[in-house]
Structure 1
Amino acid sequence: MAKDSISEYLANQSFFADLSPAFRKFLARHAVRRPLQRDEILFQHGDPARRFYLVYDGSVVIEVPAIYGPSLEVQKLGPGQILGWSWLIPPYRWHFQARTEAPTEVIEFDGEAVRARCDQHPAFGYALLKCFSALMSERLQAARRKMMEEWNPPGFA
């Protein structure tokens, strides 16, 4: 997908709908399509967060890694959904883990370049922060719901 095509694709995605065409074009210039295999890890909890993703095709599972045993699946994301917000908030480390469930293709954004633009152009930064703050709230609520569903201490009815 050429950069113009990425820009056109972003224009049709609800997450980016409130951004100006100039803002979307900037994002497209700092984005590439990336194919992924099944069970590929995009990022792990605690690693530096330098990118964010838009699922183009396939599915990605957001997980909380366990100390031992299987990870806790928090949310599944499909086409048109954004993955990753840790690149925007210090200390720029991932708070979750992301793994593909099937062969998947994402649009990968250079979060460091986008963050630098946010610092240089407050209107761009504010518009993007509004988009990502809603995403952060959604993900944190999904994590809370999932943990409450899974929490089952002995003796608790």
Structure 2
Amino acid sequence: MTSTTLAAALPAEHRERLMRLAREVSFPAGARLFEEGRRAERFWIVRTGTVVLDVHVPGRRAAVVESLGHGELVGWSWHVPPYVWHLGAEALSPVRAWEFDAATVRELCARDAAFGRAVAEWVGRVVADRLRAARIRLLDLYGPCGSGSRP
């Protein structure tokens, strides 16, 4: 389990507070969870299945930059103004997830500094991991041969 999965990222007290806001949802394979450039009003934590993140490439199909599975956060743009998706997301397989209303979670973060700090650190780690993964994947797709494999 990586440090960005919910179980590893948030202390039990904060994880329990967050999970009280969760609602169970499911998506069939091929369903779009969100599109790059649209408003980020919710986010998900994967329970089962796989979600792929993709980036719009003008004149080409969207490039898949990462696959997410059990316990992983789908979407971080809800946490950073202007709350607009930086990537797109699609269910690669049938997905069951916990869904969260972004405004409600942001409000809880603002009211409870310790909770807000824990969520911000978690989201920050996710952003850093996603940027690294996107860079490597895009270099693999469009850079000189083997350029994405370097640390």
Residue of structure 1 aligned with 2:32, choices 41, 45, 53: 41
Q: Does residue 1:29 correspond to 2:20, yes or no?
A: yes
CA–CA distance in 2 between the matches of 1:16 and 1:88?
Answer: 19
Q: 1:151 aligns with which of 118, 133, 142?
A: 142
Alignment-derived partner of residue 100 in structure 1:
91
Give the aligned partner of residue 130 of structure 1: 121
| Structure 2 residue runs without a partner (length 5+) | 145-151
Q: Percent identity?
A: 34
Amino acid at match of 2:115: F
Matched position secondary structure for 1:112: helix
- In the TM superposition, residue 83 of structure 1 has moved relative to its aligned partner by 1.1
Q: CA deviation at 1:50?
A: 1.4
Indicate if the aligned counterparts of 2:6 and 2:15 stay in contact, CA closer than 8 A: no
Aligned partner of 2:107 among 105, 112, 116: 116
Preserved contact between residue 47 and residue 93 of structure 1 (Cα < 8 Å): yes
1:79 to 64, 70, 79: 70
Larger Rg: 1
Instruction: Kindly report structure 1 stretches of 4+ aligned residues shifted beyond 6 Å.
Output: none
Query: Does the 8 A contact of 1:16 with 1:131 survive in 2?
Result: no
TM-score by length of 2: 0.86
Count of aligned pairs: 141
Amino acid at match of 2:127: M
Letter in 1 for 2:94: P
| Residues 69 and 17 (structure 1), Cα distance of their counterparts in 2 relative to 1, 3 Å cut | closer
| CA pair 19-103 structure 1, distance change in 2 beyond 3 A | closer
- Structure 1 residues 127, 34: CA separation in 2 closer, same or farther (over 3 Å shift)? same
Question: Contact 2:7–2:71 (CA<8 Å) still a contact in 1?
Answer: no
For residues 52-97 of structure 1, what are the alpha-carbon distances to aligned partners after superposition, in whole Å with 9 as ceiling and x for unaligned?
A: 1111111110000222331101001111211111000010000000
Deviation at 1:152, TM superposition (A): 4.3
Stretch moving more, 17-26 or 78-87 = 17-26
CA distance in 2, matches of 1:62, 1:139: 9
The one-letter amino acid of 2:122's match is C
**Separation in 2, partners of 1:21, 1:80:** 14
| CA RMSD, 1 decimal | 1.8
Q: TM-score, normalised by structure 1?
A: 0.82
